[in-house]
Amino acid sequence: MHTASHAAPSRASLLTRSLRQLLFGVLAAATPFIAAADAPATSAVNTTGLAVTDTTVTVGQLHSATGTMAISETGSIQAERLAIEQINAMGGVLGRKIEIIQEDGASDWPTFAEKARKLLVNDKVAAVFGCWTSASRKAVLPVFEKENGMLYYPTFYEGLEQSKNVIYTGQEATQQIIAGLDWLAKTKGAKKFYLVGSDYIWPRTSNKIARKHIENVLKGEVVGEDYFPLGHTQFGSLINKIKLKKPDAVYSIIVGGSNVAWWKQLKAAGVTSDKQTILTISVTEDEILGIGGENMVGFYAAMKYFQSLDNENNKKFVAAFKAKYGDKAVIGDVTQAAYLGPWLWKAAVEKAGSFDIDKIAAASPGIELTTAPEGYVKVHENHHLWSKLRIGEALPDGQYKVIYESDLIEPNPFPKGYQ
């Protein structure tokens, strides 16, 4: 299988690769004109000793292939591989084919840090596509800053972070929250909100922003705010409180496996979408696979991407994804954001005319992708993406019907007045 050879580079192939690099390095230094006519000389595009040869460039992939997060991160692994395969089919980056070294973060944050250091220090990869949870990103961030690497991070997250060494291809909190709340206020006339979430940094920060926006901008009221440990499965008392307080809208940031219990128990308690508006920012098509479409019918999600988006880019992307990974494959918001990573990196390298990390970091702001499945995206000065927000209504088949689309929203990881 094609991917398998990438997935497990043996010791021998690593050795031959470094020998090859050495050989090419010597050749390139001695006789620059030996390099392929369409590819610029390695010595010119790689001044910092990254794993770039005259014909290849090596990148790293650092997700959890094992452990509790594997179920979420697999989509990202697949999307990044698809993008890299497509880029290679188009001739690669600066005339060089992309080779992948995959490492397993194993859902364990210290392991992420170890593997990140390995990819940057040992393998000298030109870029890393990876991480999913905030915890894993926090664990690797000091490594990327110290060793000067470049990370493309796909997940929507809480913001409050910005680094020269990271491109955030998912939404930061304000991009996902504010437009969604505005939509609730405008179309549903919502004034009373109930905020719920899993108990960790992303839901708490997101709800903090939501509360400020509800109270200060929408002049509404938060009638309840509750948090539950990761993996919590008993939502009976929360559902009773919601019934009692009768909010106009419930704003839900329950993550992971807890979602299955949460939506099923809502249905069992008779809380259906015709009686209670619920907007979630944490349930993509991937999670619905576990929840079951019939348990979520009519509830809303706020994301930048849904698999059902009706545009040419997305149709091609969905078709290519299904051709590679099977007809049953489902594409969620993060999977699409992960797909953008290699493309944004390619664009940055070509704009900079170099693989050097500093030059890519400097060249990234302003880069536009018109071929993104989500439509048009642009990299901001702060290394986040301008993107739109969409509201999807859940359908029984586990897909979302897109019922609202915002304008492009500027990323603002340190929102004034929301902290």
User: Among residues 99, 104, 248, 374, which is the contact residue for other proteins, using CB under 8 A?
Assistant: 104
What is the identity of the amino acid at 289? L
SS (H, E, C) 78-101: HHHHHHHHHHHHCCCECCEEEEEE
Among 27, 39, 71, 201, binds other proteins (CB under 8 A): 201
Give the separation between CA 317 and CA 119, rounded to whole angstroms. Answer: 29
Exposure letters 6-29 (e unless 16+ CB within 10 A, then b) = bbebeeeeeeebeeebeebbeebe
Stretch that binds other proteins, among 115-123, 304-312, 324-332, 341-349 (CB under 8 A): 115-123
CB of 310 to other proteins, least distance (A): 35
Stretch that binds other proteins, among 97-105, 165-173, 218-226, 345-353 (CB under 8 A): 97-105
Cβ 174 to other proteins shortest distance, Å: 15
- 11 or 219: whose CB is closer to other proteins? 11
Closest separation in Å from C-beta 216 to other proteins: 16
Q: Is 214 in the site for other proteins (CB under 8 A)?
A: no
Asked if 11 interacts with other proteins (CB under 8 A), we say yes
The Cα–Cα gap between 249 and 99 comes to: 48
Signed CA dihedral, 49, 51, 52, 53: sign only: positive
H-state helical runs in 247-397: 258-268, 285-291, 312-325, 333-352, 357-363
Q: What are phi and psi of 292, to 5 degrees?
A: 95, 120
Binding mask 144-183 toward other proteins (x if CB under 8 A, else -) reads --x-----------x-x-----------------------
CA end-to-end span of the chain: 49
Identify residues 35-74 at the interface with other proteins (CB under 8 A): 65-66
- Binding letters toward other proteins, positions 215-254, x by CB under 8 A: --------------xx------------------------
Q: Which is nearer to other proteins, 97 or 118 (CB)?
A: 118
> CA angle, corner 294, sides to 289 and 297, nearest 5?
105
Nearer to other proteins by Cβ, of 60 and 180: the residue is 60
Q: Which of 108, 172, 333, 374 binds other proteins (CB under 8 A)?
A: 108
What's the Cα-to-Cα distance from 377 to each of 58, 209, 245, 304, 406, rounded to whole Å?
A: 25, 24, 40, 11, 13
Give 3 or 43: the residue with its C-beta nearer to other proteins: 3
Residue with smaller CB distance to other proteins, 16 or 240: 16
The dihedral sign for the CA sequence 333, 337, 340, 342? negative
Q: Give the residue with the Cβ less far from other proteins, 9 or 392.
A: 9
Between the CA of residue 142 and those of 123, 146, 148, 365, what are the distances in Å?
A: 18, 6, 9, 22
* String of contacts with other proteins for each residue 116-145, x by CB under 8 A: -xx--xx----------xxx--xx-xx---
What type of residue sits at position 70? A
> What SS3 state is found at 242?
helix
Site for other proteins in 338-377 (CB under 8 A): none
Does the footprint of other proteins cover residue 110 (CB under 8 A)? yes
244 exposure class (CB count in 10 Å sphere: 0-12, 13-18, 19+): exposed
Binding site for other proteins (CB under 8 A): 7-11, 65-66, 102-104, 106, 108-111, 113-115, 117-118, 121-122, 133-135, 138-139, 141-142, 146, 158, 160, 199-201, 204-205, 208, 229-230, 414, 419
